[in-house]
A and B are shown apart, each in its own frame.
Chain A
Amino acid sequence: MAVTNYLILAAILFSIGATTVLLRRNAIIVFMGIELMLNATNLAFVTFARIHGDLTGQVLAFFVMVVAAAEVVVGLAIIVTIFRTRRSASVDDVNLLSR
């Protein structure tokens, strides 16, 4: 089996995550889609590290994880705040900008 298969898996996961963001309305699920996309890139990073024999790829994946963790904290806090005021976790309900 070629190592490229990992990359194809990463591409598939990334696409599924992106589609989730476009199609789901629950803010938490949308958020999970984003996490999925981040993880897919991480897989690609790790695979490239293996292909090139260079650990820097893993370091970058590590950074991505940390940033993702920080992002989750803020993002979920925003979702909670919105839910408190609007009693809804649907991203479609947050469209004040259109008016």
Chain B
Amino acid sequence: MTTTSGEAALFGILATLMVIAALGLLFAKRAVHAAMCVVFVMICLAILYVANEAPFLGIVQVVVYTGAVMMLFLFVLMLVGIDAADSLTETIKGQRWIGIVFGAGLLVVLVSVLASTDLPAAVGLEDANANTNPTGLAKILFGDYVIGMEVIGVLLVTAALAGLVLTHRQRLGARTTQRSMAAERVAALPEGRLLTPLPAPGVYAQNNAMDTPALGPDGQPLEHSVPRVLRIRGQQRTAAEVLGSEETLRSHLGLPAVGTALDDPQIPAIDEPSDHTSTEERD
């Protein structure tokens, strides 16, 4: 039996695309690209199944392979590191040639076997699929192969359990709770750690307050009130700078200097950010 010309056209197009996609598996540098190629091959296969009078398998192919298996692959790829490009340089001596020769040899053998085999003319599945394809399958599956069916169920459950067991991670320490964190903080007090939340940055009229330290009750700037990132980048402003610009403004406006109003105009210099081990963490 020969196929219809429509099917031949479908096969011609799909087969070409599939081989190209499959070769993508062989040559793609990134694993994600390879995975997408395989997804494509699988979908094409589903179409070919339908063309081969196996609509049920076609659907299952899409659901199981494309929907579940390949998504699992992608999931693991994300887990393992999606951006890690696979080096294509061969490390085992001669392995590349061996692989190519064996792959080609396998192809030659298989195709020669097919070519030399005189297959009977295709019977077609019209009779078998008379009661719709799923019904026909179900009769065989739950008839002749019912034990195999049960065994495969057991296998699936076992595999699921195996997946759980293999990826299970043993907890090595006690779980961190709010109570334990509070205890930690209290324990760290002697090292100079603050019990309370860190102070907010200073607020001044002239500038964005995030980069200016707040002033403590004693009038001293609180270094650690500036966010850590700004301090690391060196973008915080010192209190002296802030006061200096205020003085400049006042002189522009002809107002008397603030310093005169204060008993002690000298503002001590703020240390450059260096020793901040105890204050650098800001929850």
Interface residues of B in 114-134 (CB under 8 A from A): 114, 119-125, 127-129, 133
Could you list which residues of chain B lie within 8 angstroms of chain A, going by C-beta atoms?
Answer: 1-3, 5, 7-8, 11-12, 15, 18-19, 22-23, 25-26, 28, 31, 34-35, 38, 41-42, 45, 48-49, 52-54, 56-57, 60-61, 64-65, 68-69, 72-73, 76-77, 79-81, 84, 86-87, 90-92, 95-96, 98-100, 102-104, 106-107, 110-111, 114, 119-125, 127-129, 133, 136-137, 140-141, 144-145, 148, 152, 155-156, 158-160, 162-163, 166-167, 169
Given contact pairs A69-B68, A79-B80, enumerate 7 new A-B contacts (beta carbons under 8 Å). Answer: A6-B52, A61-B54, A62-B60, A67-B152, A73-B159, A73-B162, A77-B166
Cα A43 to Cα B106 with chains together (Å): 17
Cβ A11 vs Cβ B148 within 8 A? no
Please tell me which one of the listed residues A49, A62, A74 contacts residue B162 in the complex, with CB atoms under 8 A apart.
Answer: A74
**A56: nearest chain-B partner, CB-CB:** B140
Proximity string of chain A (1-22) to chain B, C-beta cutoff 8 Å, 1 when within and 0 when not:
1111111110111111111101
Cβ B15 vs Cβ A9 within 8 A? yes
Cβ B76 vs Cβ A12 within 8 A? no
Cα A67 to Cα B57 with chains together (Å): 15
Cα A57 to Cα B149 with chains together (Å): 15
Cβ B25 vs Cβ A65 within 8 A? no
Cβ B76 vs Cβ A80 within 8 A? yes
Cα A47 to Cα B152 with chains together (Å): 23
Known A46-B49, A59-B141: A31·B73 in contact at CB below 8 Å:
yes
Interface residues of A in 58-88 (CB under 8 A from B): 58-59, 61-63, 65-74, 76-81, 83-84
Chain B: minimal CB distance from A85 (Å): 11
Known A63-B152, A80-B79, A92-B91: A23·B26 in contact at CB below 8 Å:
yes
Cα A62 to Cα B149 with chains together (Å): 10
Cβ B57 vs Cβ A28 within 8 A? no
10 A-B pairs within 8 Å (CB atoms) are namely A2-B2, A14-B110, A19-B103, A20-B26, A28-B77, A39-B65, A59-B140, A66-B156, A74-B163, A77-B162
Cβ B91 vs Cβ A24 within 8 A? no
Proximity string of chain A (22-42) to chain B, C-beta cutoff 8 Å, 1 when within and 0 when not:
111110110111011001001
Cβ B80 vs Cβ A32 within 8 A? no
Cβ B22 vs Cβ A76 within 8 A? no
Cβ A32 vs Cβ B34 within 8 A? yes
Cβ A36 vs Cβ B119 within 8 A? no
Cβ B25 vs Cβ A68 within 8 A? no
Cβ B145 vs Cβ A59 within 8 A? yes
- Asked if A55 lies at the interface with its beta carbon under 8 angstroms from chain B, I say yes
Cβ A3 vs Cβ B1 within 8 A? yes
Cβ B122 vs Cβ A51 within 8 A? yes
Chain A: minimal CB distance from B124 (Å): 6
Cα A66 to Cα B151 with chains together (Å): 11
Cβ B111 vs Cβ A71 within 8 A? no
A31 surroundings in chain B (CB, below 8 A): 73
Cβ A16 vs Cβ B2 within 8 A? no
Cβ A26 vs Cβ B52 within 8 A? no
Cβ A36 vs Cβ B162 within 8 A? no
Cα A28 to Cα B42 with chains together (Å): 16
Chain A: minimal CB distance from B49 (Å): 5
A1 surroundings in chain B (CB, below 8 A): 2-3, 5, 7-8, 11-12
Chain B: minimal CB distance from A2 (Å): 6
